[in-house]
Amino acid sequence: MNYETVTVVGAGLAGSEAAWQLAERGLQVRLIEMKPQKMTPAHHSPDFAELVCSNSLRGDRLENAVGLLKEELRRCGSLILACADATRVEAGGCLAVDRHRFSQMVTERIRSHPNITVEARELTQVPPGPVIVATGPLTSEALSAAIADYFGGAGYLNFFDAAAPLVSFESIDMSQAWFASRYDRGTPDYVNCALDEAQYKAFVRELASAEEAPVHGFEDSKVFEGCMPVEVMARRGEDTLRFGPLKPVGLPDPKTGKEPYAVVQLRRDNAAGTVYNLVGFQTHLRFPEQKRVFSMIPALANAEFLRYGVMHRNTFLDSPRLLDRTYADRRDPLVAFAGQMTGVEGYVESTASGFLAAVCMAARVKGEPVPDFPPETAIGALGRYVSDPSVTKFQPMNINFGILPPLGRKVKGKANKNLAIAERALEALEQVISKK
C-alpha cells in the first residue's frame, strides 16, 4: 500500500477539513463523497460542507467556548474557518455565513487543490487504512452497517436531530417585530417577534398538542438535549420555552421600553438578508401544522415559509470505548473517524475533529511524532472528552469550558474567568504550533 495516499470518506465539514489538512502536509488525498450520486433528505446541494440545520457557527467571543475553538482553528490554518470568515454575514456576536457561498468556496478550494482527488460514489465498506471516515450523522444505511460490523456490531448509538424552518424576510410583519441583538451586543441583526402573555400561552398549548410527522423509532427520551424539537420543549412545561429559546431577557421592545413576555428570534440565513430562520425552532411537526402553529406568532401571521423544519436520524459511535484522543481506532491508529459520528456536536466541533484526526494521521503516515494538543486547548479537550473511558453514559457534546481543566486560581466574574481559560488555551496552542 502506498502510504503517501490517505483516503477520506465524506465531504462534510469534518471530511473537507481533514482532506485539506492532509493535502497541505504534502500527502495525496482520495476524497470519496456519495453526493451527487446519492443524496439524503437533508441534502439540497452537490457542494461540500453543506450546512443543513442552521447557518450560524455560534458565538465568536473568546469568553465563549465555541469562540475559543474557532480561534484555535483559525490559528491552525483551518480551511472551514477561512471560508466561514470570507462569507460572513452580520449576526451580532455570532459567526454566521451565507451558507451557499460558504459551501461553494469550500468545494472550490478542495477541488482545486493539486493533492486532492475527488471520487463521487457511495462506499459500502470501511476502506483499509490510512483512512478517515467522516460521513456524518446521515451516514448511508449500507456504510452505517459496515461501520457497525467493523467494530464488531455494537459500536453505534442513535439520537435524533431536527432542523428549523425558514421564512422570507419580506413576509415578516415588522410592525410587530424589531431588529436587535440581546443586550445590544454587536450589531442589531436579529428580528425579534414579541408575544404577550395570552399569545404565548395559546401558542404553547397549540404547539404542545400539534400533530407530528411520523419518525420511525422516535421517542422524546431519545432527543439530544442540545437540538431538542420545539414541540418537545413545549410539552415539558408552559414556561420551558420562555426560559429557553423564547426568553425575552435583554430584548426590550422599542415601542414600550420593556421586555415582552416572550420573544421569538429570527436569524439571517443568507447574505442578502432575504431569508431568516426561526432560532431554536428545530421541529418534526407535519408541514401544515408548522404553518398553522408558527403563524400564531403575531409577526409571522402571514409568513411565507421557504422551508419547513424536518427531522433527521443521527448516528454516533460509542467513542470512549472505540476511539483514542486523536479520533483513531484504538486497535488500528491508521483508521480514524471524524465529525458528528464521533459524538462531537456542532459544526465547529466537527471541523475540529476533522482537523485533529488529519494532522495526527499525517504524522503517523509520515513517521513523525504525533502532535499532542493538551487538554488546556479546546481542540485537545474535545478529543479527550470523546475518548474518555470513564464515561459510562456517553452523549454527544458541544465544546464547553467545563471539559477544560480548571484554572487553579480564582478569577472574579464568569466572563473574566472564561477569558482567562481562553488565554491559557491559546498560549498552550502556540506551544504546539511552534513544535511543527
Asked whether residue 78 falls in the same domain as residue 97, the answer is yes
Asked whether residue 19 falls in the same domain as residue 109, the answer is yes
- Least Cα distance to 396 among 314, 322, 282, 323 occurs for 314
Rounded CA separation 51/245 (Å):
21
Rounded CA separation 174/366 (Å):
58
Asked whether residue 129 falls in the same domain as residue 263, the answer is no
**pLDDT digits over 30-52, tens only?**
999 988 777 666 667 888 988 86
Q: What local confidence, expressed as pLDDT, does residue 401 receive?
A: 87
| Cell output for 96 | 454566521
Eight-state DSSP code of residue 223:
B
- Least Cα distance to 349 among 316, 321, 393 occurs for 316
What lies within 8 Å, CB to CB, of 11 at 6+ separation is: 19, 31, 33, 35, 48, 49, 107, 110, 118
Q: What local confidence, expressed as pLDDT, does residue 217 receive?
A: 47
Q: What local confidence, expressed as pLDDT, does residue 357 receive?
A: 98
Nearest-5° Cα angle at 186, 427 to 61: 20
How far CA 426 is from CA of 2, 191, 326, 331, in Å, comes to 36, 34, 19, 32
| Cell output for 336 | 480514524
| Global model pTM greater than 0.95 | no
Asked whether residue 372 falls in the same domain as residue 426, the answer is yes
Rounded CA separation 267/274 (Å):
11
* Residue where a domain terminates, one of 309, 326, 351: 309
Q: How many domains does the chain have?
A: 2
| Cell output for 119 | 471520487
Asked whether residue 324 falls in the same domain as residue 278, the answer is no
pLDDT tens-digit profile, the chain (436 residues): 446 799 999 999 999 999 999 999 999 999 999 887 776 666 678 889 888 655 567 777 888 899 999 999 999 999 999 999 999 887 777 788 888 899 999 999 999 999 999 999 999 999 999 999 999 877 888 898 899 999 987 677 777 666 789 999 989 999 999 999 888 877 788 999 999 999 999 999 999 999 988 754 444 445 555 567 899 999 999 999 999 999 999 999 999 999 999 999 999 887 778 889 999 898 989 999 999 999 999 999 999 998 888 776 677 899 999 999 999 999 999 999 999 999 998 899 999 999 999 999 999 999 999 999 999 999 999 999 999 988 767 878 888 888 888 888 888 888 898 999 999 999 999 999 987 6
* Residue where a domain terminates, one of 309, 335, 360: 309
Q: List 177's β-bridge partners, or say none.
A: 193
Greatest pairwise CA separation for the chain in angstroms: 71
* Residue where a domain terminates, one of 287, 309, 331: 309
CATH code of residue 213: 2.40.30
Domain region containing 117: 5-159+315-434
- Specify the residue for cell string 484522543: 325
Asked whether residue 180 falls in the same domain as residue 283, the answer is yes
CATH code of residue 98: 3.50.50.60
| Collapsed DSSP state (helix, strand, coil) of residue 163 | coil
Tell me how crowded residue 122 is: count the other CB atoms within 10 A of its CB: 15
How far CA 130 is from CA of 172, 310, 358, in Å, comes to 51, 35, 10
Strand runs (DSSP E) across 177-249, as ranges?
177-179, 191-195
